Structure 1
């Protein structure tokens, strides 16, 4: 990979023969784990302006209809977050001269608060081509990281590094986007005021979106009349809270969260399902059925097919899928579980698919054979699909890539939990093109979540789990036991899956928090965590949900068999301590009675008690010496499951259930208290 400095440029064609489509990655770390930023992409003409509002892509407008740009979302790395963008340069319209890649912060945050700001451009196989690091970030609330631009028939990359103290509003204005001023929320919502207009951010540095009523298409006469009336009266468009609804006026179909009342006579009646699963018995049967179900839905629902393959370098085009395809390999043909082909402009993109269900692991030798077949036949990728969750710096399978081959094949991994997450996001939060597609996705989700499908996600802590847990209980495990490192790695996969499930349910990004620098070694970090596990018997992690101000801490104590979930919230500045405690307890009126509340005091532990005991006596939370509370720690403790095995039925379900109960029972109720405090991280 070539490193360049601010202002430098390089030809992508000169760096790779396969630069027709690229993946742009923006990354950062934060010492507190609370840092975050939103990526945006602008397509500009020769005059440096957008052609229309559809040339501005951000979290509420994440993809171009022609597939040229797609925001793939955030993924956790070993030491921070990475936001990826797929750019198909062959699909970019001829009158687009530049593609600007930027990021913005909100809530008063600054880019100087983040570390290791970096942009990387990779080719469609995932091979990094060029990288650029921003070293001089300070008070800026928006940054142009870099841009892709045309020079004749080739595309080039330039490292820009231009910052804005006026946030995304100032950046957008420079490129011809009219930003509406923020106003108080109104009872009704009007459409955006003309092409190229976006609403102002709800908080400094952010961007708001104009919600579209789901009851009627935006082209309805009533909508037109409302627009004209708003323009005539000089009404302004109210800003919407960050990241909740589509910004465009195109109608999308989502399914209601609450199902209609059943017409069944009693609970023993079972709804007919498109993909029946109760009769599945053998692992082979599960794998064949799961592969066919998923690939068929991907081909019929373009939104899902594109969402699952864009990050693997697939172009936007006509998709067809196949199962059990015989391919020559030595004396005996091989049959990959599936094949995905995408056609665009007469060219084919092909990926082989190898599937595993239940707790079955992928086999290195089998995947290696498919990599060799793909290389010989000129295919672009091999995709492995299983209940395992991929981690940065930790391969799911071990294969060798022959560097002498001119044709490169990329190897990608997809977990069943990620498939379910994307289906949930589409049918519950973002919407799809029509009702039939929404129904198909719902049937797919029902299939994946059925206990007989073998596709309900990460469900095996590995062979090291039982001996390590027993060694901790008996205090006989050695601090340098390699099996403890395997357990730490499995723990990271579990936390990643918890984030996927919770994020899909909420329609918000949920990511593990890593408090290490980008250049740190993932294995060294896991070795240190394994030593801590052997010493104190605890596995710890933190996760952050977009839209909340705090980090959720999860600690599994293997000696006591308990899972503790907790969150620290700051006390409002300048408020009376007793009034603050009363307001906190009112906000937690619906929280579980066994919630532990502890007052945080500078340099020491303050009073604590259960919510049940504190509700009638909020003054018990105040320090006896009159010290002012700096914040509060809210904790729930839950059993992690009694099963001694390594499967989902015990520990994994215990951790997942603990996080779910804590978020819905506690964190979801803190919005009013945090808003009154006026402090959001």
Structure 2
């Protein structure tokens, strides 16, 4: 990776062939684990000013209409956060000469309190190209990390490393943005304070006189930052609503629940969406559909997330339940209807929902598809605990090719609904506290055992016969029941990705090792043959910001689950130094963690448990002096016997194994290694 120093610049074309779209990541850690900052982007003209206030992108204006700039949000990284920004450089308007990438803190905090400040750049393929590390930021509440600029028809990147004592408001004002700090709109001081304190954590930004400094605390100079804008005495006042507000308006709920005021634990908190009265599957389907559709209408961010992938436009949404639509002598009654209006045009979808283990019925979905086609609706959305597979629809329907109007059949799992709700209320934030509370109530409802919306929870009727066939070695290749188990396994892995990603606030995706363009059905047939031969189910998960992939193996012969991760060895330094550092980073990991040394040539290297390696890290070094390429970390767990999601179930055991591995191993690797004072007499080689 290319290392950039302060003031240096580099042409993007010299780093990669895929730099039309790039992603900039700003990283920091905090000794307390609580320090945070917010990124911002300014598009500047040749005079070093924004063309209008719309060229200022921050938490209250995160996306450019043309897609040229998009703030992607935060990803937790153990002791800190990573904030990412996506740039489509081909879409940057011609009038933009420079793009400034900055970050700011709030409530009197400054960047000198954070550690490991750095900016990294990745190309369109995701490959990391360069890094700029900030040695010392000083008492600055806003900081300029870098800037893109045009030279000779190509884009270059300069490492700036300069700070502002005046925070986000001062930084924005310096570049020509007319900001609204919440106190100049005709309200008194108390009212303004109430507006700023609307967020869950009380964050606020105060505008003060801009003062700039570099990362050593000295006044900033150089072409990286223009001179402060002088006040214009005769400038006409603008309407407050036209100014960007630097007061945060995104709300996330606090992670720690407030102490209950109940006299004892048997008291149950009053809920907006009660579940105690649900007695039948029909009641559960009606309640779940009505609750979901009403929340989608009230919280535009949430409704948009669930419908955008189905082709719905961004517009005014209305939802309806238990509607009656004419259909010959017997009117049809879908569970719900979604209608979105944009520019006088309507997009409409029928909704068919199922809860518990109830399957979608092909004849019912077919009838809704025909009805939607005749009425000019755009889609039929099925909603159930099942998880759709790539290239394999849950319900086979017949599409009449003679009809000009085509209707899309889309599926949404309850696990995906819960995943999107978690992302918004716990990581990305919504518009106000009421919206956050509504999403929390929805999530509580979906996760309640009586709601029937628990997600994929049954490996199917083929699970027990296949396990028995593997035990007594009677399962033959080509057995259709093996294919059913492989499909259920893929559904389970997709759901595990959704649950883990919702908790972490980052993307967790299954990895497919087959060649691009390979038919998914053929890939599953290969997995079924492997299951018959080896008795094992295998999957890999890629977690954003994590080195390597998390591998999961369910060995049906031994009844054990194995979760593992391969990490690379240090490129430089002594092998013993790398072994000791690894053991120190795993100081809080389970003692039964297995560590295997990977060496050149693929031959098996030393392996042992963490408990035995803590006093003797040198046991990880190959006796023959082979070059170490990495280490494989593995945890083992007994596999549940039943096919369902009961306490002893297989699905629950897979969920627990993945979450335990992430919490105890992956999270430990993300944290900086604990520092250890050198012992007297220790050699430099160690």
Asked whether the two chains share a fold, i.e. TM above 0.5, the reply is yes
Q: 1:545 aligns with which of 543, 546, 552?
A: 543
Q: 1:344 aligns with which of 337, 342, 345?
A: 342
Partner of 1:438: 436
Partner of 2:615: 616
Q: Structure 2: how far apart are the matches of 1:266 and 1:582?
A: 49
Q: Structure 2: how far apart are the matches of 1:470 and 1:192?
A: 69
Check the 8 A contact 1:217/1:251 in 2, yes or no. Answer: no
Which structure exhibits the higher relative contact order, with contacts defined as CA atoms closer than 8 Å and separated by 6 or more residues? Answer: 1
Q: Structure 1: how far apart are the matches of 2:596 and 2:50?
A: 52
SS of the counterpart of 1:634?
Answer: strand
Deviation at 1:330, TM superposition (A): 2.2
Q: Structure 2: how far apart are the matches of 1:624 and 1:525?
A: 40
SS of the counterpart of 1:630?
Answer: strand
Q: Structure 2: how far apart are the matches of 1:348 and 1:70?
A: 28
Check the 8 A contact 2:163/2:212 in 1, yes or no. Answer: no
Q: Structure 1: how far apart are the matches of 2:402 and 2:174?
A: 49
SS of the counterpart of 1:572?
Answer: coil
Q: Deviations over 1:534-583 (max 9, x none)?
A: 11110001011111112100001111111100001111022222221111
Partner of 1:472: 470
2:553 is equivalent to residue 555 of structure 1: yes
Partner of 2:192: none
Q: 2:314 aligns with which of 316, 334, 343?
A: 316
Q: Deviations over 1:291-313 (max 9, x none)?
A: 01100111111110111111111
Q: 1:361 aligns with which of 349, 359, 362?
A: 359
Deviation at 1:461, TM superposition (A): 1.4
Q: Structure 2: how far apart are the matches of 1:188 and 1:461?
A: 58
SS of the counterpart of 2:649?
Answer: helix
Q: Deviations over 1:140-181 (max 9, x none)?
A: 99xxxxxxxxxxxxxxxxxxxxxxxxxx97599999999773
Partner of 2:208: 225
Alignment of 1:281-296 (within 5 A): 281-296=279-294
Partner of 2:12: none
Check the 8 A contact 1:581/1:618 in 2, yes or no. Answer: yes
Alignment of 1:153-172 (within 5 A): none
TM (normalized to structure 2)? 0.69
Residues 1:96 and 1:169: Cα distance change in structure 2 (over 3 Å): closer
Partner of 2:668: 669
Check the 8 A contact 1:375/1:407 in 2, yes or no. Answer: yes
Partner of 1:181: 159
Q: Structure 2: how far apart are the matches of 1:482 and 1:642?
A: 21
Deviates more, 1:554-563 or 1:644-653: 644-653
Check the 8 A contact 1:53/1:195 in 2, yes or no. Answer: no
Partner of 2:529: 531
Q: Structure 1: how far apart are the matches of 2:616 and 2:449?
A: 46
Q: Structure 1: how far apart are the matches of 2:649 and 2:252?
A: 34
Q: 1:459 aligns with which of 453, 457, 460?
A: 457
The runs of 5 or more residues in structure 2 that have no matched partner are 1-20, 26-40, 74-85, 96-118, 131-145, 176-198, 226-244, 676-686
Q: Structure 1: how far apart are the matches of 2:168 and 2:640?
A: 51
Check the 8 A contact 1:597/1:609 in 2, yes or no. Answer: yes
Partner of 1:234: 220
Q: Structure 1: how far apart are the matches of 2:60 and 2:514?
A: 30
Residues 1:182 and 1:454: Cα distance change in structure 2 (over 3 Å): farther
SS of the counterpart of 1:479?
Answer: coil
Deviates more, 1:248-257 or 1:350-359: 248-257
2:605 is equivalent to residue 606 of structure 1: yes
Deviates more, 1:282-291 or 1:52-61: 52-61
Deviation at 1:227, TM superposition (A): 4.8
SS of the counterpart of 2:658?
Answer: helix
Alignment of 1:192-341 (within 5 A): 193-194=171-172, 220=205, 222=206, 224-225=207-208, 227=210, 233-234=219-220, 250-341=248-339
Check the 8 A contact 2:597/2:632 in 1, yes or no. Answer: yes
Check the 8 A contact 2:497/2:541 in 1, yes or no. Answer: yes
Deviation at 1:518, TM superposition (A): 2.2
Residues 1:358 and 1:543: Cα distance change in structure 2 (over 3 Å): same
Residues 1:173 and 1:593: Cα distance change in structure 2 (over 3 Å): farther
SS of the counterpart of 1:306?
Answer: helix
SS of the counterpart of 2:270?
Answer: coil
Check the 8 A contact 2:459/2:488 in 1, yes or no. Answer: yes
Partner of 2:655: 656
RMSD value over aligned CA atoms?
4.3
Q: Deviations over 1:382-436 (max 9, x none)?
A: 1111111122211111111111112121111111111111100000111100000
Q: Deviations over 1:114-156 (max 9, x none)?
A: 9xxxxxxxxxxxxxxxxxxxxxxxx999xxxxxxxxxxxxxxx
Deviation at 1:183, TM superposition (A): 3.5
Residues 1:58 and 1:335: Cα distance change in structure 2 (over 3 Å): farther
Partner of 1:382: 380
Q: Deviations over 1:5-36 (max 9, x none)?
A: xxxxxxxxxxxxxxxxxxxxxxxxxxxxxxx9
Q: Deviations over 1:96-128 (max 9, x none)?
A: 99xxxxxxxx967666899xxxxxxxxxxxxxx
Deviation at 1:62, TM superposition (A): 6.3
SS of the counterpart of 1:427?
Answer: helix
The runs of 5 or more residues in structure 1 that have no matched partner are 1-35, 74-84, 86-91, 98-105, 115-138, 142-167, 198-212, 238-246, 677-681
Residues 1:602 and 1:289: Cα distance change in structure 2 (over 3 Å): same
Check the 8 A contact 1:306/1:316 in 2, yes or no. Answer: yes
Q: Deviations over 1:596-653 (max 9, x none)?
A: 1111122311221111222122222222233342211100001121325587861111
Partner of 1:511: 509
Deviates more, 1:591-600 or 1:185-194: 185-194
Q: Structure 2: how far apart are the matches of 1:612 and 1:560?
A: 24
Check the 8 A contact 1:374/1:380 in 2, yes or no. Answer: yes
Residues 1:452 and 1:216: Cα distance change in structure 2 (over 3 Å): closer
Q: Structure 2: how far apart are the matches of 1:579 and 1:67?
A: 46
SS of the counterpart of 1:437?
Answer: helix
Q: Deviations over 1:429-472 (max 9, x none)?
A: 11100000000000000111111111121112122222112211
Q: Deviations over 1:317-336 (max 9, x none)?
A: 22111110011112211110
Partner of 1:119: none
Check the 8 A contact 2:281/2:356 in 1, yes or no. Answer: yes
SS of the counterpart of 1:582?
Answer: helix
Q: Structure 2: how far apart are the matches of 1:495 and 1:196?
A: 49
Partner of 1:643: 642
Q: Structure 1: how far apart are the matches of 2:370 and 2:498?
A: 32
Deviation at 1:270, TM superposition (A): 1.6
Deviates more, 1:590-599 or 1:647-656: 647-656
Number of positions where the alignment pairs a residue of Structure 1 with one of Structure 2: 536
Deviation at 1:343, TM superposition (A): 1.8
Q: Structure 2: how far apart are the matches of 1:67 and 1:52?
A: 17
Check the 8 A contact 2:541/2:549 in 1, yes or no. Answer: yes
